[in-house]
Amino acid sequence: MSAGSALLNPMEAATGEPREAPLRDSLRDSYGRAITDLRVSVTDRCNYRCVYCRTGNDGAQYAELAIADYLRMIRLFVSLGIEKVRLTGGEPLLRAGLLDLVREVAQLRTVSGAPLDVALTTNGHLLADLAQPLKDAGLCRVTVSMDAVDAETFAAITRVPRSFERVLAGIRAATAAGLGPVKVNCVLLRGFNDSQIEAFAEFSRREGVIVRFIEWMPLEEPSADGIGRNWTREAVVTLDEIVSRLQAYRPLLELPPHAASETARRYTFDDGVGEIGIVAPVSRPFCGHCSRIRLTSDGKIRTCLFSQTEHDLQGKMLRGSSDLELRAYIKGIVDKKEARHHIGEPDFQKPSRSMVHIGG
Ligand code: SF4
């Protein structure tokens, strides 16, 4: 399709990115994007109070559902074409019944009969004891959120003493259990932990983990205590800055993406040791290939991290809707998925929930 022609499909028009023709009847939005990646928050509780995330009230603000309810919802989405299920929180390892949920989800098959890709995002504090049981239950991969690789800075960010050692033990246990390569997500804030970039590169090479630097997004809770951080564009450490810092540390080689919908740009070093990903939603948005949809801990569907509205799937289930009706409901919602975020634009509006209450 030639650029500028009226034949451009809506997503090409919205983002200017080329699109391939739809492959088969799967969960697609009105821009032709296949929605194959479901993220499910199984609790709003967390045992950390990270300064750029849970900056307001401490406790859970949203309910959590019975494990059986999440399982029914996940089954519905998988029957519509979901191929990856990521369990998140708050902190999912706090959730009783998590192992049972992983076991049940791992037995599901995609519409083409393939095993599901079942992953989990955790802060790692409880991972050392749970890594092997999660693997045995059928978990495929684990991502650990970690914003510093020295104990002092780590404790200052999480506001939990001696947390670094626990998380490091969790990462090593996950690697040993075969849940690797473990991904380590680090949200960079200028003047707070951007001094850690080279140390994280070293950590990736030493521990054999994939370190992913994430540009800070305006998804924080408004800071109530004056300690927490409110998002500013200036505080974002961009992909270009991270790459030039890493190049100065050691020559960097870009790696090809695993899939068009992959959010991270991948790199390794000249000797092939270590892998770095950079997720740049602010400076290099990737909405054009977005394949994600989310379920909140209280059973609401969010079609985008920055959605202003949510859709009450739990409510429809409680009112007795059949699976057929619920599938039609989900397809209708996906059809209206937002084209993209508007960070940094005059009409940008903060989402109706902060990240800790969405789950990533
Ligand atoms: S901002 Fe929304 S549309 Fe863009 S990648 Fe994230 S979830 Fe997808």
259 pLDDT band (50/70/90 cuts)?
Answer: confident
Q: What is the pLDDT of residue 8?
A: 42
Of residues 221 and 143, which shows the higher confidence score? 143
Distance 34 CA to ligand 1 centre (A): 13
Distance CA 212, CA 183 (A): 7
Instruction: Using the atom order of ligand 1, give the atom closest to the CA of residue 340.
Output: 3
Indicate the top mutation candidate among 305, 310, 355 to test ligand 1's pocket, ranked by most ligand atoms within 8 A of CB.
305
Of residues 168 and 229, which shows the higher confidence score? 168
Question: What confidence tens digit (pLDDT) does each residue in 231-246 have?
Answer: 899 999 999 999 999 9
Residue 56 is encoded by which pair of tokens?
Answer: 């307001």
3-class DSSP state of 212:
strand
Q: Whose CA is nearest to atom 1 of ligand 1?
A: 341
In percent, the amount of the chain with pLDDT more than 70 equals 89
Matching CATH number, 3-358, of 3.20.20.70, 1.20.1050.10, 3.40.1440.10, 3.30.70.20? 3.20.20.70
Instruction: Using the atom order of ligand 1, give the atom closest to the CA of residue 337.
Output: 3
In percent, the amount of the chain with pLDDT more than 90 equals 76
Indicate the top mutation candidate among 86, 306, 345 to test ligand 1's pocket, ranked by most ligand atoms within 8 A of CB.
306
H or E stretch covering 72: helix 67-78
Domain locations in the chain as residue ranges: 3-358
Provide mean pLDDT across the span 154-159: 90
Burial class, 289, CB count within 10 angstroms (exposed 0-12 / middle 13-18 / buried 19+): middle
Instruction: Using the atom order of ligand 1, give the atom closest to the CA of residue 307.
Output: 2
Distance 219 CA to ligand 1 centre (A): 12
Residue 140 pLDDT exceeds 80: yes
Provide mean pLDDT across the span 95-99: 97
Residue 21 pLDDT exceeds 50: no
Answer yes or no: is the C-beta of 287 below 6 A from any ligand 1 atom: yes
Among 199, 217, 215, 195, CA closest to 207: 199
